Amino acid sequence: MATSAQLREQIAAGRWDGPLAALYGTAPQELARQRARYCAALEQFELYFGPGRQVQVYSAPGRAELGGNHTDHQHGYGLAAAVTLDLVAVAARNTDGYVRVKSRGFNKLDVIDLATAEPQEGESTHSASLIRGIAEGFRTAGKAIGGFDAYTASDVLRGSGLSSSAAFEIGMACIWNGEYACGLDAQALAGICQYAENTYFGKPSGQLDQLASAVGGVIFADFADPAAPQVEKIHADGLLPPGMTLCVTDTRGSHSELTGEFAAIRQEMEAVAACLGGKVLGQVPETDFWAALPRLRTACGDRAVLRAIHYYEENARTLAQRRALLEKRFADFAALVLESGRASFALCQNVYCATDVRHQGLSVALALSQSILHTVLDTVPTIMEEVLYNVCDNAVKYNRRGGEVFVRLKDGEDAVRVNVRDTGIGIPKEDQERIFERFYRVDKSHSKEIGGTGLGLSIVKHGVKTLNGRLWLNSEPGQGTEILMEFPKHHMEKEAAE
């Protein structure tokens, strides 16, 4: 244990760079940002709770839901990944039986009297209710806990689908688990946080968000027994292609007004299940659902039916996503993610308030993000086509009569190599460094005969660079030319998906 000032000195001196690198990566600028962030959190703790106290620092990540949207509470499957955007908490035990939490960006200081265990009127949907509920969860698990003071700084964007609430919940649970040596494992902490969210906060969610934040990495969960979900941590080096980045849209919105809408999803799914003799859809065979469709439309309404369809499709899709990841078929996995998002929008209808048609900011943000990403990603096949066309066109134009062109594709572990070799006139060594310049021509008389702009190989050079590839050539005058190109595997997988 150390005081806040001592920890600040250690972090500023780089003595925490190992743990920080494990959480956030080794990029020097990111390590510098995290050092400053942690030091600022320690300073803010001192500002609110006084200097000289023995403190500990905790981290709880946000999560990206990869598959299993609103399937966990129906005893289905879930697939999620922790992200490097996290909540950092500086905490110290106290002896007065109160929890005091100040969160960056929020004016209010949460003060919870642990002597009052039951949910309080007017407290639901607020962070204080989560803290009180988590405390009760620890007591129910037979753990003796007490008060603490904490300052939190969260980089988990609100309204972006990264579950800032789960990061906050797990952060609070980790503080109690660490400060009072409770010894609970990650799944137990996730269960306590779900209990607090369901019972005290008033949101009837499943447990996937809390599990992803508590366990970390990429996880697959089977909620057939929600009291003891089967969790498989499938995260490993090479699971995701190198260079892949999760694009997150900061909508600057909030899901708080959607709590009632989220509750309705679960209620409607379970109303369908009840009509078919089950408590949740995970207990109802899909064939029984389709056979009863006309009756269900009358009894439960069309939105409930659409949401049940979403459950069955999404549950099967989540299994397919898991298989695709484990088999390193990332293009197939990405296509399933896109399909899941569209189904959630159309069938589950979980990103807008049905009673406020004029304000659907999250929907607009999603549509805009998808449009922008498609504009960027759809250029990949176009650029690739231009590159290959111009290389092959050049090999034909500058060949001899009766000559040949050979195209070879080699699929490597991390990259794909394309070789285009001709039996043409070749390129003198003194011209090889300039051959990819705009308008540069080796044999101007031959160029006049065959036409062309002198831009072909320049287009190739810039296209390969745009696709993060490498380009080089081998050539001998009178023997022909070989152009070699190498592209990172994830670009080629995107090409295959198109």
Instruction: Mark whether 209 is an active-site residue.
Output: yes
Residue 154: both structure tokens together: 């969260």
Quote the CA–CA distance of 479 and 406 in Å, as a whole number: 14
Quote the CA–CA distance of 4 and 10 in Å, as a whole number: 10
Active-site option among 209, 225, 332, 443: 209
- Between the CA of residue 211 and those of 167, 224, 238, 265, 316, what are the distances in Å? 10, 15, 22, 21, 20
Quote the CA–CA distance of 242 and 279 in Å, as a whole number: 43
**Cβ(186)–Cβ(170) below 8 Å:** no
List, in sequence order, every residue forming a beta bridge with 361; answer none if it has no partner: none
Three-state DSSP class for residue 497: helix
Residue at token pair 């000559």: 403
Quote the CA–CA distance of 284 and 418 in Å, as a whole number: 51
Which candidate, 84, 94, 88, places its Cα nearest to that of 40?
A: 88
List, in sequence order, every residue forming a beta bridge with 148; answer none if it has no partner: 93, 99
- Between the CA of residue 432 and those of 403, 429, 451, 474, what are the distances in Å? 21, 5, 21, 9
How many other C-beta atoms are found inside a 10 Å radius of the C-beta of residue 178?
15
What are the residue numbers of the active site? 209
